[in-house]
Amino acid sequence: MVIRATWKFNGQEKVILGNWHRLWWLLFGPLYYLFKGMFLWSILSLITANGLWIGFPLYNRAIVTRHFHKKGWMQNDALDAPTNE
């Protein structure tokens, strides 16, 4: 399930999590967080032996969505999508 978000400041829309986010994290580990702009999480995953290969991928959705929410991004819900009537 793709998670999209809108930035409250200017209305810009962005995909914050794709369908394969856990696989990308397993393949690239801390580099995944660097790509997302999450520098502290990247350092933490390096310190904990590459993110405790089970814990970080399982909680990746919560980690990334919470990070973007703190930065001012609001998650778009399927109910908010315009309908074609």
- Tens digit of pLDDT for each residue in 15-65? 888 888 778 878 888 888 888 888 988 888 888 765 566 677 778 888 888
Query: Per residue, what are the HEC states of 14-74?
Result: EEEECCCHHHHHHHHCHHHHHHHCCHHHHHHHHHCHHHHCCHHHHCHHHHHHHHHHHCCEE
Query: Is 60 exceeded by the pLDDT of residue 82?
Result: no
- What average pLDDT score do residues 66-73 get? 87
Whether the full predicted model's pTM is greater than 0.75, yes or no, is no
- How many other β-carbons are positioned within 10 Å of the β-carbon of residue 49? 8
